[in-house]
Amino acid sequence: MSKKFQNYVSGTWVDAKSGKVFENRNPAHWDTVLGTFPLSGKEDVDEAVRAARRAFESWRLVPAPKRGDIMRAVGDIMTRRKEELALQMTREMGKVLLETRGDVQEGIDTAYYAASEGRRLFGHTVPSELPNKFNMAVRMPVGVAAIITPWNFPMAIPTWKIFPALVSGNTVVFKPASDTPATATALVEILVEAGVPPGVVNIVHGGGSEVGMALVEHPDIDLISFTGSTSVGKKISEVASKTLKRVSLELGGKNAQIVMDDANLDLALEGVLWGAFGTTGQRCTATSRLIIHEPVYDKFLSMVVDKSKKMRLGDGSDEGVDVGPCVNENQRKTVDSYVQIGRSEGAKVVAGGTIASGNGLSKGWFYEPTVLADVTQEMRVAKEEIFGPVLSVIKVRSLDEAIAVSNNTMYGLSSSIYTQDINNAYRAIRDLKAGITYVNAPTIGAEAHMPFGGVKETGNGHREGGWTVYDFFTEWKTVYVDYSGKLQRAQIDNS
């Protein structure tokens, strides 16, 4: 019998009030049920928000360094449990163990970084324009944060949001993706073990339309941090604007790797295979487009096709597997539909392009790593996010054209260029319209202590990771201390 999991509200593990549950299955072996989880609704959300609101009044008064100490304990626990957490993640969302270990490590890194930020929530002191007066600005917690996260990085992304929210003095209601509820539950268990008080962190499982939108609409939610699709992000922004909630959106991408004729092609090959097919292409930063300079187009395309055909598909917990399954059947259908769209638009399938079968693969949602050649920049497969193991290859005649093609999309998350010419590298850094640019590295590989996010329809301007995320989770309070003993009227008396 599969394990039954619960919500965590006000320090207690509880079922959904409806009593309903949903199943969590292994995408590599769909007949394997990993557990059942509460199918929650608005009443469950209301209870969790009330708990978070009550807890906020005491949690905000805990000194920030003490809140940081709890994050350090979280990092220690995650370090001890790293292998267990990685295996659990592989079983519920499919990516290979090498990657899930990295996912957990990113959470560990974020915990230790957040611990240090508990002593670094810097404010500002500035001179007053009047005598015997002191001016300063300090950071204050905002309130109750709704944290809504995707399934592709089920440990790293929640930690990017929850840890800085807590260190800043906010309380949290966490709605994880329904495809990865076990990893999310493990994270909450670790927070509790580390000493987070009851009500400070609450987790409510369930669907986006029921739980997610109930959080977005809730009058007692003060801020929302969401990672997911651009279409859902736009809906959240629209609904949240009615109550002027603070909203951070990290949305889609259609990232390109540029390979110039002077590039180290062997290095570029390693990069594009990792960027395009790591996490089965299910990353917002995945290398979805490959832009090749004409002089090396045929040679480099041949190298990519040859290597992609040799990649091994299978259960991500097996040794030697390069590519795991799509997360569920609908995701695989979406991937296949885009391959057919590409064919209809005139793209040529030079590798993959089919549902994978044989050697036990028929039990899961596997799709062959796919390379589409003869793609033009106006094709849908060159402009729309596919979120699967599909690489669209485009030929260009110059660096200027390569940059223009890379920028020709509604998204602007990550970008990459392979070149040995430092002048071209810096031109690309300046001109690529993206929140992240890699030089001689793929479009994936973000580090926990650096800002993460994009431009255009990839988000709404906020950044996760590093020091910048604390700007979202805190409010600035300006303080004036007048010790002159008399009324001073700022500009009136200073004119």
Distance between CA atoms of residues 179 and 201, nearest Å:
21
What distance in Å separates the CA atoms of residue 311 and residue 308, rounded to the nearest whole number?
5
- The tokens of 122 are what? 């810097």
Same fold, 3-251+459-478 and 255-439: no
Q: Is the dihedral of CA 373, 375, 380, 381 positive or negative?
A: positive
Q: Single out the residue of 254, 205, 204 nearest to residue 229, CA to CA.
A: 254
Amino acid at 99: E
> What would the two tokens of residue 286 be?
């995945």
250 assigned to active site: yes
Beta-bridged to residue 133, according to DSSP, are 482
Kindly report the pTM of this predicted structure: 0.97
Task: Look at strands 124-127 and 133-141 and give their pairing.
Answer: antiparallel
Please tell me the predicted confidence (pLDDT) of residue 1.
Answer: 61
Q: How far is Cα 39 from Cα 20, in angstroms, rounded to an integer?
A: 5
C-alpha to C-alpha distance for 285 and 443, rounded to whole angstroms: 6
Ramachandran angles phi, psi of 417, nearest 5°: -140, 135
Task: Report the DSSP beta bridge partners of residue 474.
Answer: 141
| CB hemisphere CA count around 87 (13 angstroms) | 6
CATH topology of domain 3-251+459-478: Aldehyde Dehydrogenase; Chain A, domain 1 (3.40.605)
- Residue 381's nearest CA partner among 341, 350, 344 is 341
If you average pLDDT over every residue of the chain, what do you get? 97
Q: What angle do CA 337, 342, 346 make, to 5 degrees?
A: 150
Provide the pLDDT for residue 2.
Answer: 76
Q: How far apart are CA 385 and CA 363, in angstroms?
A: 26
Distance CA 206, CA 178 (A): 6
pLDDT value at position 167? 98
The side-by-side arrangement of strands in the sheet containing 12-14 is 12-14, 7-9, 201-203, 171-175, 144-148, 223-227, 246-250
pLDDT computed for residue 236 by the predictor: 97
Q: Which pLDDT value is given to residue 123? A: 97
Using CA atoms, how far apart are residues 211 and 252, in angstroms rounded to an integer? 22
Give me the catalytic one of 99, 210, 250, 368. 250
From 117, 284, 368, 385, active-site residue: 284
Provide the residue type at 183 as one letter. T
d(CA 459, CA 453): 7
CA-to-CA distance for 281 and 278, rounded, in angstroms? 6
The neighbour count for residue 59, using CB atoms within 10 Å, is 21
Q: How far apart are CA 38 and CA 34, in angstroms?
A: 14
Q: How much is the pLDDT for 163?
A: 98
Residue 135 in contact with residue 126, Cβ under 8 Å? Answer: yes
Query: Across the chain, which distance is largest between two alpha carbons, in Å?
Result: 85
- Residues (pLDDT < 70) of the chain are 1
Domain segments of the chain: what residues? 3-251+459-478, 255-439
326 belongs to the catalytic site: no
| Alpha helix stretches (DSSP H) within 170-296 | 181-194, 213-217, 230-240, 265-277
Is the CATH number 3.30.1360.80 carried by domain 255-439?
Answer: no
Cross-strand bridge partners of residue 136: 125, 479
Q: How far is CA 462 from CA 213, 248, 431, 454, 470, in A?
A: 21, 6, 21, 8, 10
Where does residue 351 fall: left (phi above 0), alpha (psi -120 to 50 degrees), or beta otherwise?
beta
| Residue 80 neighbours by CB distance under 10 Å | 11
Could you give the C-alpha distances from 447 to 103, 109, 178, 419, 455, in angstroms and in order? 11, 9, 26, 22, 18
Bridge partners of 477?
138
Using one digit for the tens of pLDDT, what is the confidence trace for 371-419? 999 999 999 999 999 999 999 999 999 999 999 999 999 999 999 999 9
